[in-house]
Chains A and B, each alone.
Chain A
Amino acid sequence: MISFDFEYYKPATVSEAVALFQELENQGKQPRYYAGGTEVLTLGRLGLFVTHAVIDIKNTPEFQQTDANEDWMIFGAGVTLTELEDKNLFPLLSKSASEVADHTARNKITLGGNICGHIFYREAVLPLLLADSQLAVAGPAGTNIYSIHDLFNRRLQLKNGELLVQVFVETKYAALPYMSIKERQQWDTGYPLVTIAALKTEGTIRVAFSGVCSFPFRSAEIEEMLNHKETPLEARIQTALEYIPAPILNDGEGSDRYRKFVIKNLLFDIFTELGGT
């Protein structure tokens, strides 16, 4: 039960949603965009999140679009993770999405919500980092397209009132060899201990990580080390770990030492499987 009250709006277009946000912000109502809404409800119930106006953006057509043509795949930020899996336009993204939460929850969790949410794993962003995606972001100044690498640094760096509308991925990435492995503390449900997504393109294996630090990341230095084929694989992995961009997590899911052990083994498996030895 959410103890605080909020107004509920359901705009028909993205521009209407953005304008409404500005209006409500000026009224001091701390508006929030609402897509799947799972974090609004769970964190709101615990008092970890407060708003006095939610803007339900699910009905805007761009937000729900899932499409592909010769050059681009288009994913609306409002598409649920199960819809991504079912359409399976980008198998690596489908695989990463399929490991988030559980099946019923994935009927509600959206691509945009997972990437922009407070919970820091944001695993759906890993394939998008690997595929050098483009992001359509709407704001008071209109809609602009950004490279994900210019906008995602630990989290999506959106200004107040901005809204992730769509993600574009070049169609060529859909057919490339990939792997996505999510290791948990135990069983097949729960937050990750370590998640690694990998994509092989032009003889190079790209890797992105979640659950290792308090943010998901892809590192050029780590990829350069791992793909240095003149060096034995185990030595490359050992060196690459020195470039992890922040302290490795040490928490209830696992210790930092255990995470390091798991990362080494996963990277070895990935590079062996994808032919990066």
Chain B
Amino acid sequence: MLKDERYRITIKLKVNGEEKMVDIRTADTLLYVLREKLGLTGAKPGCLNGDCGACTVGINQRPMKSCLMLAAETEEKEIMTIEGLKSSPMQKAFIEHFAFQCGYCTSGFIMNAHLLSKHHPSGSDDIIKEWLASNICRCTGYKEIEDAVKSVLHFSERE
């Protein structure tokens, strides 16, 4: 980490498997840096308060709300954004089940659900509910989202 001013630093972030050097304010959130410095606009600013989940990304394979993280604290961590998922089972399921309307919450839901499927490949309804309660859909597309998520988890169980 190179410090060239008191409140600015240059850090190395590992995003979607690639290393990126970025110049940031130490007060910048990860969400801001991803969108404004790296052009990764998949994570969305919703509430900016950690309530809605539209900004969800993966940090070391765990879902995190990027509006609740400083970019400075993510050095040496593996950051995964929606842009880093390539035709994952969860993305296919969301398309097949039409689990989106306006699409604003979709990247956050898919990131959280994708990581849920990695931690709990055969997750029960209670675990699905617990994890996905972290995300809000104002279009109320919850039923289709639930169907999409369950199609991936329960498919894993059948295998």
Contacts and interface: CB of A to CB of B under 8 A. Distances in A.
Interface of A: 1-2, 4-8, 10, 34, 36-38, 41-42, 44-45, 54, 56, 58, 82, 101-105, 107-108, 188-189
23 contacts: A5-B25, A6-B7, A6-B26, A7-B26, A8-B9, A36-B68, A37-B69, A41-B69, A42-B68, A44-B27, A45-B48, A56-B73, A102-B53, A102-B133, A103-B63, A103-B133, A104-B56, A104-B63, A104-B135, A105-B50, A108-B50, A108-B64, A108-B69
A107 B62 contact: yes
Interface in B3-27: 6-7, 9, 25-27
Given A6-B26, A7-B26, A42-B50, A108 B130 contact: no
B7 A7 contact: yes
Contacts of A45: 48-49
Interface of B: 6-7, 9, 25-29, 32, 48-50, 53, 56, 59, 62-65, 67-70, 72-73, 112, 130-131, 133-135
Nearest to A42: B49
Given A10-B73, A37-B73, A41-B69, 11 more contacts: A5-B6, A5-B26, A8-B26, A37-B70, A41-B68, A42-B49, A45-B49, A101-B50, A104-B131, A105-B134, A189-B133
B134 A103 contact: yes
Contacts, number: 83
Nearest to B127: A103
A78 to B, nearest CB: 12
A34 B72 CA distance: 12
A103 B131 contact: yes
Nearest to A3: B27
- Most chain A beta-carbon contacts within 10 A, residue among B6, B7, B67, B70: B70
A5 B9 CA distance: 12
Contact of A4 (B27, B64, B112, B130): B27
B27 to A, nearest CB: 4
B5 to A, nearest CB: 9
3 nearest CB pairs, A to B: A104-B134, A8-B26, A5-B7
Contacts of B27: 2, 4-6, 44
Nearest to B132: A103
Contact of B67 (A8, A41, A56): A41
A6 B25 CA distance: 9
